[in-house]
Chain A
Amino acid sequence: MPDPISRCTSCGIPLSREHDVMFICPNCNNVQLGRCGNCRNQSAIYICPGCGFEGP
């Protein structure tokens, strides 16, 4: 399983670039989620591996 702290929750690429973001799951407050700039730009769905919350 990819490290949830440093990878994009949607596509799995490592987060290191501009426009990436990390935040705690707004639903369960338990899991660190990541979104890469590309997935954010495309409004790609992310699913919290902890609680199944589907964003954005």
Chain B
Amino acid sequence: MTEEQKASELLIDEDTYLTSGVHIGTQQKSADMKKFIFKVRSDGLYVLDIKKTDERLRTAAQMISRFKPEEVLVVSARQYGQRPVRQFSNLIGCHSFPGRFVPGTLTNPALDVYIEPKILIVTDPAADQQALKEAINSRIPIIGLCDANNETKYVDLAIPVNNKGRRSLAVAYWLLAREVLKLRGDITGDDDFKAEIKDFEATL
């Protein structure tokens, strides 16, 4: 495979991305996310550039894989993100807080839930405000799944993705998990990854 072919290849086939709605943004766009937007549909929906999503998933996986599993925290206040982050954390061996983020988790050593992660992944910077705030105070880098309308305030690495869809969040975290495991050498390749996208989907 030439470098060019390699570069043009996506992590999964484009159809899976598209049918999962990974690229479907919102009716509003933020100035921060402008560079990740591919087009605006006739119905006014902003569509994300799938190639950029793919690139950023790779970059994020690289960043995550450099930390020890126990140094990574992934959160999702959003309901559709809760199963994906739980599955991701199970496979990667990191911390996860699906649901309400207990204030003080990163800042109050007196709490039972207190942890000192070295990196935070938020499913939605707007919905995961509390975790974001505490990570800012702890001075740890923040990866954010960001939809077309998200601000990237305090996010150090944005992954442009539909962070509201059930299937979309499943695909994003499934890919992140697979890529991290590959980079860590825990699996030898895509075929060695036994989890399925549907295992990551929130149940209705």
Contacts and interface: CB of A to CB of B under 8 A. Distances in A.
Contacts of A41: 153-154
Interface in B48-65: 59-60, 62-63
A5 interface: no
B141 interface: yes
B2 interface: no
B122 interface: no
Contacts of B142: 21
Nearest to B154: A40
Given A56-B155, A56-B157, A43 B63 contact: no
Contacts of B157: 26, 55-56
Nearest to B140: A21
A26 B142 CA distance: 11
Contacts of A40: 136, 153-154, 156
B141 A23 contact: yes
Contact of B139 (A19, A27, A29, A53): A19
In which size bucket is the chain B interface? 20 to 34
B8 interface: no
A24 interface: yes
Contact of A27 (B59, B136, B140, B156): B59
B145 interface: no
Q: Which 7 A-B pairs have the closest CB atoms?
A: A26-B63, A23-B141, A43-B152, A40-B154, A43-B32, A26-B59, A56-B158
Given A26-B60, A43-B151, 18 more contacts: A18-B139, A19-B136, A19-B154, A21-B142, A21-B156, A23-B119, A26-B59, A26-B62, A26-B63, A27-B59, A29-B62, A37-B136, A40-B136, A42-B153, A53-B59, A55-B156, A56-B32, A56-B158
